[in-house]
Amino acid sequence: MFRGSIVALITPMHPDGRLAEDSLRRLVDFHVERGTAGIVSVGTTGESATLDADEHCEVIRLTVEFAAGRVPVIAGTGANDTREAIHLTRCAKAAGATAALLVTPYYNKPTQEGLYLHHKAVAEAVDIPQILYNVPGRTACDMLPETVARLARIPSIVGIKEATGDLTRVARLRDLCGPSFVLFSGDDATGCEFLLRGGQGVISVTANVAPHQMQALCEAALAGDRATAEQINARLDGLHRALFVQSNPIPVKWAMAELGLAPRGIRLPLTWLTPDHEPAVRDAMAQAGVL
């Protein structure tokens, strides 16, 4: 169920910040047609921080509706308030999402015991497969492999999106959590090597712009074909990096607008890509073969 290239989907918005429902439908179809293995709805790339609870639940519901069972939909339901995370996870279950993705609580910097109790509380409150999400570069909170291992013993916690970029964690997490626990890379720049070292997929920003190429990369890496995977990754490397020249999802929303797949909308406090960065993103798109 959870293998390959999983797109961390943008939430398309009009220039005034309103949700662009027609564009969301088009994006879901775009990914299904190009072989993306799954969709994450309203994760960090989906601007979860600036959607209110009703909008958050509505985008999940619409994404599930538009996917119509063709690909799994993983709903981003993390929050730094455990009660809010439970509420959003209940919304995801009610909408028919395949699983929930829960980022570590951000800003309030819980202890490892706090992380354990937070995720345990959500798992006990909502019966849906749950994927942990560790991205200390944005949350100021690093969930250590030993804490992941404790949580992996809870049946509904089925995997982790590991976005530290630390490739040594692949073997450590596999040893501690066992063969059935799903390991996703959350860092496109190191995702290829993450898979070659035993991961099962990449939850990818790059896949928004280059879905076919990211799925081909994942398929090659999962088959153990290092040469092909690295060859594809070399063409995508510039894009992996260019999509982070400013805070995600600023560059990827600009790129999707350039492709005509989404309007030019983003919510404050994020702003549109500054013109001085446009050539780098455009050149990387061309190198990747998407322009």
Kindly list the catalytic residues.
133, 161
- 107: number of Cβ within 10 Å: 9
Query: What number of CA atoms fall less than 13 Å from residue 188's CA on the CB side?
Result: 31
Whether the bond between 251 and the residue before it is cis, its omega within 30 degrees of 0, is no
Strands 38-41 and 73-76: parallel
What tokens were used for 81?
A: 């308030």
Query: What's the rounded Cα separation, in Å, for the pair 170 and 168?
Result: 6
45 has binding-site annotation? yes
Q: What residues contact 195, with CB distance under 8 A and at least 6 apart?
A: 185, 201, 202, 218, 221, 222, 229
Whether the bond between 145 and the residue before it is cis, its omega within 30 degrees of 0, is no
Task: Return the SS3 of 6.
Answer: strand
Q: What is the 3-state secondary structure (H, E, C) of 122-150?
A: HHHHCCCCEEEEECHHHHCCCCCHHHHHH
What tokens were used for 135?
A: 């991205």
φ, ψ (nearest 5 deg) of residue 193: -65, -35
Helix axes 278-288, 226-242, angle to 10 degrees: 160
Query: What's the rounded Cα separation, in Å, for the pair 257 and 30?
Result: 14
CA distances (Å), origin 98, targets 83, 93, 127: 21, 8, 11
Strands 201-204 and 4-8: parallel
Annotated binding-site members? 45, 203
Annotated binding-site members for pyruvate? 45, 203
